[in-house]
Amino acid sequence: MTEEEKLKRFNALIEQDEKIEPKDWMPDAYRKTVLRQMTQHAHSEVIGMQPEGNWVLRAPTLRAKKILLAKIQDEGGHGLYLYSAAETLGMDRSEMIQQLHEGKAKYSQIFNYPTLNWADIGAIGWLVDGAAIVNQVSLQRTSYGPYSRAMVRICKEESFHQRQGYEIMATMMNGTEAQKEMAQDAMNRWWWPSLMMFGPSDKDSWHTQESMQWKIKRASNDDLRQKFIDKTVDQAYVIGLTVPDKDLKFNETSKHWEIGAINWDEFWNVVKGNGLCNHKRIAHHIKYHNEGQWVRQAVLAYSEKINAMQSATSL
Amino acid sequence: MENKNDQLPLWEVFIQKGGSPFKHEGSIHASDKNMALQNARDIYTRRGEGRLIWVVPSSSIAATTVEEEAEFFDPADDKIYRHPTFYKMPEGAKNI
């Protein structure tokens, strides 16, 4: 097949809503974009374990601790599904991790905010995972096969995350004045960063158009953000939380909630590395990755020894 | 940075649920087959997604390629008599 025929076949697959599989021919830019998006997504899952890990030893009950541990284990698993999906495009996982350590690969800006009180764990589950779910449900239909299948699996597991977070918030809003204050404080700090998780406004997002054309992304940043806002504002109201946006209003014609202006300077500042926890998150990852080096070496040495023994006895 | 190529070998994971055939679920990294089985369990069956797991070193899998696809599957392309709809049944014949 000539390059032209290959491109034609690729475009036809996309047009018919078929999946692109690892060994299919694909344009370089498609490969690059999918790989960038998958590794960024994988790194987000893994780095996202840190703000939650901060509360494992201080969870208020054994029930809460068990749930938090299960959730963190899921996030680790989601990172691994996504690293596997990314590996199908031929990049070695060591290289992905190296890019993360060197700041060449990004992860979601949301994980550069600190978790200051227990309600933050509620807010992360409800708002951060809630926003992630809206995005991931849409990505189940992404055109790259392995990415799509990882999303299907992840979506099945995520709804527990959001529900446990909302339960924490609801419980605290039913508690003492101090507990209500903590819940509202967490809401105030996590609301806007959660909205930023969907990425820049469509008019400023240079990746969106190409990604939509190739069906890597199936909905625009602003559409997904609006979907999240409409669901979440009502949920906040049900448990008595105030959305920290004085311009928030319901548009009777469009039937959508309209928000005030998002502070994109804050977003870009955190993306560029100046958030409260950027340095801490990466330093932590590098430290434990390097400290695990001897374990990886030891298990490999052990398996070589066992293999040698087995081939010696089979002679 | 000293983390070049320090990943454990890649394994493919197949899981069986109920009476269905084993199905490819994804891959994991592990140094040997015991670790591969444990990692596959922890990553792919946290919610009872199956009770039997196969793990296979990815390097042991032989696969067809997209380039050879047309030629490789060609023998089956012109044998429509392998399908039941190929045959003309007499008028009035039932349950066949």
Q: Does position A9 have pLDDT exceeding 80, yes or no?
A: yes
Q: What percent of chain A has pLDDT over 70?
A: 100
Quote the tokens at residue B60: 């042991």
Q: Does position B94 have pLDDT exceeding 70, yes or no?
A: yes
Any domain includes B1: no
In terms of residue numbers, what domain contains B58? Answer: 10-86
pTM of the model: 0.91
**Least trusted range by pLDDT, from A15-24, A161-170, A182-191:** A15-24
Any domain includes B34: yes
Any domain includes B27: yes
Name the residue among B3, B65, B66 with its Cβ closest to that of A94: B3
Q: How far is CA B91 from CA A174, A284, B87, B96, in A?
A: 74, 77, 12, 12
What is the per-residue pLDDT for B3?
43
Sorting pLDDT into bands at 50, 70 and 90, what band is A2? confident
**DSSP class of A20:** B
Residue of B nearest to A289 (CA): B3
Any domain includes B5: no
Query: Could you tell me the strand order of the sheet in which B52-57 lies?
Result: B23-29, B10-16, B52-57
What is the per-residue pLDDT for B18?
87
Write down all domains in chain A, each with its CATH number in brackets: 3-276 (1.20.1260.10)
Any domain includes B96: no
Between positions 18 and 57 of B, the ones with CB within 8 A of A are: 26-29, 31-32, 35, 42-43, 46-47
Contacts of B61 in chain A (CB under 8 A): none
How much is the ipTM here? 0.83
Name the residue among B1, B28, B65 with its Cβ closest to that of A102: B1
Any domain includes B15: yes
Structure confidence by residue, pLDDT tens digits, B5-34 = 678 999 999 999 988 999 999 899 999 999
Structure confidence by residue, pLDDT tens digits, A50-70 = 999 999 999 999 999 999 999
Structure confidence by residue, pLDDT tens digits, A239-265 = 999 999 999 999 999 999 999 999 999
B71 touching A, CB under 8 A? no
The alpha-carbon gap from B42 to the nearest alpha carbon of chain A, in Å, equals 8
Q: Please tell me the distance from the alpha carbon of residue A248 to that of residue A258, in angstroms, as a whole number.
A: 6
Sorting pLDDT into bands at 50, 70 and 90, what band is A286? very high
Of A296, A304, A311, which to mutate for an interface test with B (greatest number of B Cβ within 10 Å)?
A: A296
A21 touches A85 (CB < 8 A): no
What is the per-residue pLDDT for A307?
87
Any domain includes B93: no
Q: Does position B1 have pLDDT exceeding 50, yes or no?
A: no
Sorting pLDDT into bands at 50, 70 and 90, what band is B2? very low
Any domain includes B70: yes
CATH of residue B48: 3.10.20.520
Q: Does position A207 have pLDDT exceeding 90, yes or no?
A: no
Per-chain mean pLDDT for chain B:
90
Across the strands, what pairs with A229?
Answer: none
Sorting pLDDT into bands at 50, 70 and 90, what band is B4? low
* Domains identified in chain B, total number: 1
Per-chain mean pLDDT for chain A:
95
First to last CA, chain A: 48
